[in-house]
Amino acid sequence: MPKSYETIFQNNEQWVLQKLNEDQDFFKKLAEGQSPEFLYIGCSDSRVTAEELMGLQPGEVFVHRNIANVVNTLDMSSTAVIQYAVEHLRVKHIIVCGHYGCGGVKAAMTPEDLGLLNPWLRTIRDVYRLHQKELDDINDINQRYRRLTELNVQEQCINVIKMAAVQERYIIDQFPIVHGWVFDIETGKLKDLEIDYLTILKDIQKIYDLTNSDWLHLHRKNQK
């Protein structure tokens, strides 16, 4: 009986054959480059796979995953991914996708020392602090857990919108648009939190406006 990692190579061979049967030039086209319209920022949970739940193919979505889909500007990994996706891939949509039953969100609700995870989970605990009254008014612990999952997605969307690269690209091209979703593992369905991107952008620019109006004016002039 093959070991699990050997099975993966067998699965890969079958996947290659399947793709070639569908399109003999599939890998040739794939090697030519990528131009995804979507950047997906999701949780590392093994049950939540971006391309599969979105019904997309290789090359159609740029993916970044971490514990509890956190966007922390001190995290070079997530900020580098966002900047590359916005400035070089010119993605049109940035999706922050959480999921109900998230272990990271649950851990952030637990008064427990979790060692190296503490600094990471502090971002989610800050979300709890910002919305403490609303959350504490929810008596059902599972519903409170679900609501914090939604609020965490909302706050991470705001963290994305705060970034200069996102603001500048939107002013120039009118994209990317930032979306907040939650994946319900029990049903397999996606829930759109209907983040009001333009209103949030307008509101946060009073404090987080990182664009240089002179640079943008010169850029637009050169584009004509």
Query: Which pair of structure tokens corresponds to residue 107?
Result: 């851990």
Whether 154 and 193 have beta carbons less than 8 Å apart is answered as: yes
Distance separating alpha carbons of residues 98 and 76, to the nearest angstrom: 20
Integer-rounded Cα radius of gyration of the chain: 20
**Chain position carrying tokens 């909302």:** 154
CA 30 to chain centre: 23
Q: List CB contacts of 53: < 8 A, sequence separation 6 or more.
A: 183, 188, 190
d(CA 210, CA 204): 10
Q: Using an 8 Å Cβ cutoff, are 7 and 15 in contact?
A: no
Single-letter amino acid code for the residue at 32 = E
Which residues participate in catalysis according to the annotation? 43, 45, 47, 99, 102
Which residue in 196, 162, 195, 197 sits closest to 180, CA to CA? 195
Q: What are 180's strand-pairing partners?
A: 96
